[in-house]
Amino acid sequence: MNHQNEIMLKKETTDKNGLNTMSEHDSTKNGLGEKWPEPTVRVQSLAESNLATVPDRYIKPPSERPDQTIIINHQPKTAAINIPVVDLNSLFSGNEDEKERISEACREFGFFQVINHGVTPELMEAAREAWRSFFNLPVEAKEVYSNSPSTYEGYGSRLGVEKGAILDWNDYYFLHYLPLVLKDLNKWPSLPSSIREVMDEYGEELVKLGERLARVLSSNLGLKEEQLQEAFGGEDVGACMRVNYYPKCPRPELALGLSPHSDPGGLTILLPDDKVVGLQVRYDDTWITVNSLPHAFIVNLGDQIQILSNSIYKSSEHRVIVNSQKERVSLAFFYNPKSDIPIQPLQQLVTSTNPPLYPPMSFDEYRLFIRTQGPRGKAYVESHISPLVN
């Protein structure tokens, strides 16, 4: 379904009323400029130049490199432990075992897979293949959509603006869905020809899935089903997507596709590559390689969920390893709080013996950390704990 005329009319009306529709990304307020600190190098171009090794800018310090013992025949060893799998259809039919499974996953892993989630396999496949086709376009066709650190919207190759930082082995495309004033289909790729229509429908379906998941998580905290959704801003939530492209890497034991981090937002709904694994989740100081099921989404809780739940639910640190033989494409859909409302522990989860762990802060303020510093594990959410808590 294509709502371009409606969207552009809303955007035009907002502009005529004198509102700054991009205020949440205003570079004068957030310190992010219109240019990256160094010339942009596309990782895909590096990979296609038949390098024998990885350029120094992408070599991680020894302590941050993936464990070489897990790289066997260019494919990670299958993990003995995998993240929990939740059947949403069974859950909404009243299955108490599924309810307990998702509750445990949120408290211990911060990650779970969902099956029977209501999004058709055909749409999932169409979305993934549309983006695979985009990244295989000539570089000139992609550079039209080159992004800047002020909004990150468009075609990019780095996260963070620190000059001289060690970079990750990936390219990406970032785009907005909600609020509608930020959704501009003209900033979405026009090739392949189906991509805008497919991604518009995909975004609508994942917003619905985000709403359903928020109700489940809220109920499992002993709250009203709509409580988390209301804390996110009710109908005024944010939604955006980052499509990740991980090219072949000549020395995968030296680099990472994405450095360890926890997601700064609310819920992340990931459509993984269906042929190549790469996502790893930290659990008890061990990196677990996630083996996704066919037509499943991988859901992880972001820092805003950890804050709202007063650390009853956990956001989890995760990273992406790369592969010397195969490229990977994944679609990370972010279902986030409204950008300018204060996020703090819900009052119903605060007691005299369990005081609020986090002071109020808007999501707009919070996500500046990863946008300026890049991925830094769980450093920010941990440093955000209130100094008043003993």
Residue 36 included in any domain: no
> What CATH number is given to the structural domain containing 131?
2.60.120.330
Lookup result for tokens 């350029």? 55
**Cα gap 146→135, rounded to integer Å:** 13
DSSP class of residue 239 equals E
Number of structural domains found in the chain: 1
Residue 203 included in any domain: yes
Residue 235, burial from CB neighbour count under 10 angstroms (0-12, 13-18, 19+): exposed
- Strands 171-178 and 238-246, by their bridges, are antiparallel
**Cα gap 154→313, rounded to integer Å:** 32
The rounded Cα 378 to chain-centroid distance in angstroms is 15
**Cα gap 246→194, rounded to integer Å:** 22
Determine the pLDDT at residue 237.
95
Nearest to 119 by CA among 329, 333, 330, 296: 296
Residue 1 included in any domain: no
Q: Are 58 and 259 in contact (CB under 8 A)?
A: no
Nearest to 364 by CA among 390, 340, 332, 388: 340
Q: pLDDT, tens digit, for every residue of 325-354?
A: 999 999 999 999 998 999 999 999 999 888
Can you list the residues of the chain whose pLDDT is less than 70?
A: 1-33, 68-81, 370-381, 383-384, 386-390
From residue 186, give the alpha-carbon distance in Å to each of 1, 16, 92.
Answer: 16, 19, 38
Q: pLDDT, tens digit, for every residue of 163-196?
A: 999 999 999 999 999 999 999 888 999 999 999 9
Determine the pLDDT at residue 20.
32
The pair of three-digit structure tokens given for residue 230, joined into one six-digit string: 């209301």
Determine the pLDDT at residue 81.
58
Determine the pLDDT at residue 241.
98
Determine the pLDDT at residue 35.
87
Determine the pLDDT at residue 265.
92
Q: pLDDT, tens digit, for every residue of 228-254?
A: 999 999 999 999 999 999 999 999 999
The pair of three-digit structure tokens given for residue 365, joined into one six-digit string: 């303020």
**Cα gap 201→109, rounded to integer Å:** 30
**Cα gap 44→247, rounded to integer Å:** 6
Residue 144 included in any domain: yes
pTM value is 0.88
From residue 181, give the alpha-carbon distance in Å to each of 11, 168, 371.
Answer: 5, 31, 21
Q: Report the half-sphere exposure of 320 (CA within 13 A, side-chain side).
A: 27
DSSP-based three-state secondary structure for 194: coil
Q: Are 124 and 269 in contact (CB under 8 A)?
A: no
Q: Are 357 and 311 in contact (CB under 8 A)?
A: yes
Residue 6 included in any domain: no
Residue 32 included in any domain: no
Q: b/e per residue, 136-146, with b = 16+ CB within 10 A?
A: eeeeeebeebe
The pair of three-digit structure tokens given for residue 295, joined into one six-digit string: 């037509």
What is the domain range of residue 254?
43-384
Determine the pLDDT at residue 376.
63
Residue 8 included in any domain: no
**Cα gap 281→19, rounded to integer Å:** 41
Residue 33 included in any domain: no
**Cα gap 122→102, rounded to integer Å:** 26
